[in-house]
Chain A
């Protein structure tokens, strides 16, 4: 009797918000939803898709940037969508794939990290955060099989090692640590090409911001689902840096200046690409 009670208490003790939901409120999870089998057989569901995210390391930390477009087939579903979010003080995540599920997964991940911090009184280690995100993506696998995949990119500052680190994922929740830089989403091939030429080790923060915006510009140039800087509506990519002082969103005014310079240089060159 004594032992079963003790086992029960230990079994119920969890610092994970997702585990708690799974046990008590499974209906609140963004995944774990039984989909009608007929839905899979017909054409893929028309839902907004979020596109290109780039991330790179620079001297002192990591940076992540995402364009502002979501598409639904050939239609632009949103010009204002934000796809890069702070996960907690020392990490950010960007999402590509089915926008609705991705945004809910982000919210769940943010609560997961905060919940752990409040229950345990300490921050989760960066590897711990990366593993939790992988588990959530794996949880979404049944939906991914039906065409509703979410692929995140995760970046954070490892406060114990004192370095910025970068993690990419596949739809099965596989977690891969990246060096230098990485891209995900429909325009990722083009952004990656640009990064290969523009990125150097130990970039200064301002240079890194410029490299990120320019690589997204190149992605938007060749991928119809990626939005470029929009001077008409004053829309710029969302850029976050993470370093020893924590995550910081680069202000709009700074991004407007960076994007303006890139457009100016390219116009002056009067070249095809």
Chain B
């Protein structure tokens, strides 16, 4: 229970406090420059300041705090992945999410609703059984469930056997959750700024200076800044920023589209996902149905919404939840996803000394925000790669040691 909230609620007046430091001139030097003021960048800064005592830190954000993919993702939190590296990493993140409101003394509206993935084929059941076994072995709550259990978990799901892809079984992930994505970024940024970190919005990194294989400064639209270390956390622009440091990345950018309906009374509790019909649906605490997971069929740096995706997402959502046929769409949007060949992130060291990568976040970035903050901050502070993220280093592609999470990723590509 966030006690600050309780105290605030019992007050006679409600003083509003500014969350973040007002913008000021850039200093000449920072120990750490974080490129990208989204959830990840803010989480890294927060952990550096709170747990490693490194406060001479600047977050440089070309637009505004949490305005990129932090704002555009559909706020799904889960850890039912397939590989040991993936499950261990994301389950630590879910644990941190569960305590995040206490950590910040700031409500991130975490809701443990559970997540249900649907199998419409024997092949899907086999892969779900595999995932359930791996998950249970690593302490994550996942189990294969039959049609009757599915009907009990989600009473308004279309269980007809006459549909094109009848539901045969499901993977029930009780640890699945959702949280307010903006609040996560704000909570981290506030906690970081309270401890002396500077957040510089409307500050775009234009070039990166490297001397003798080591990063020394960044050039921005507001001047040059010297720095001891740089972390890039710019999901959707990773290739572009890394190229300024001369680092090639195995990433292709695809737009991922989602949409929401008008708010309705609470009727759907868990998050329901179907890899077969390419859709996932959940109802937010405000009552809107979030319908997501439509990837464009080819790479693009553009966040326009298309009629094609609206049509296919609607068709798939109606197949699962026919009552949505009466629902009105409120908006549709896209985010740019950094797709890696193995659907796992790229974290850790780069070929440039003191330049750290937090990239390749495809469609799995929001759920990793807290653990990413912890592990990347530890890496920057100690220069030692934490065991939890060692498997995700860029070098894995050169060693042909990919971490295949293609099947456990909700969005289709």
- Mutual binders A and B: no
Interface residues of B (CB under 8 A from A): none
